[in-house]
C-alpha cells in the first residue's frame, strides 16, 4: 500500500525556532511521492533558504488562518503535482 501523499504539520502555536526545527525534521522523513503541508501563523522566511540547500521546493499560500506551506523534493514530480493540487484547494477555501 502506498503511503499517504500529504504529511500535515501544524506549527501555528509554536514559538521560534520550533517551527523551523520541526519542519526540517519532517522533510527528512518524506518518502518518494510525499510532500509536507505545514500551517504557520506567519510566513516562515527563514525556512526557505534551508529548503533550497537541502534540495526541496515549496509553494506558500496566505489565507485567513495564516500560511500554508507545501514542501516537496525538487526531483519528485509526483509529490510536486500532489502538492500543487493541494495548494490550489487550500487557496480556494
Residue 1, in any domain of the structure: no
Q: Determine contact, residues 36/71, Cβ cutoff 8 Å.
A: yes
CATH assignment at residue 42: 3.30.110.40
Torsion angles phi and psi, residue 61, rounded to 5 = -120, 125
Structural domain of 43: 6-92
Full pLDDT tens readout for the chain, 93 residues = 356 999 999 999 999 999 999 999 999 999 999 999 999 999 999 999 999 999 999 999 999 889 999 999 999 999 999 999 999 988 776
pTM for the model stands at: 0.94
Residue 19, in any domain of the structure: yes
User: How many structural domains compose the chain?
Assistant: 1
The pLDDT of residue 1:
39
The pLDDT of residue 81:
98
The pLDDT of residue 91:
77
Amino acid at each position: 500500500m502506498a503511503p499517504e501523499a500529504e504529511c500535515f504539520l501544524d506549527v501555528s502555536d509554536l514559538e521560534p525556532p520550533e517551527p523551523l526545527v520541526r519542519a526540517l525534521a519532517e522533510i527528512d522523513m518524506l518518502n518518494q511521492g510525499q510532500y509536507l503541508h505545514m500551517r504557520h501563523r506567519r510566513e516562515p522566511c527563514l525556512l526557505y533558504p534551508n529548503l533550497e540547500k537541502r534540495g526541496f521546493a515549496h509553494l506558500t499560500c496566505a489565507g485567513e488562518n495564516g500560511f500554508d506551506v507545501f514542501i516537496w523534493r525538487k526531483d519528485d514530480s509526483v509529490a510536486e503535482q500532489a502538492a500543487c493540487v493541494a495548494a490550489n484547494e487550500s487557496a480556494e477555501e
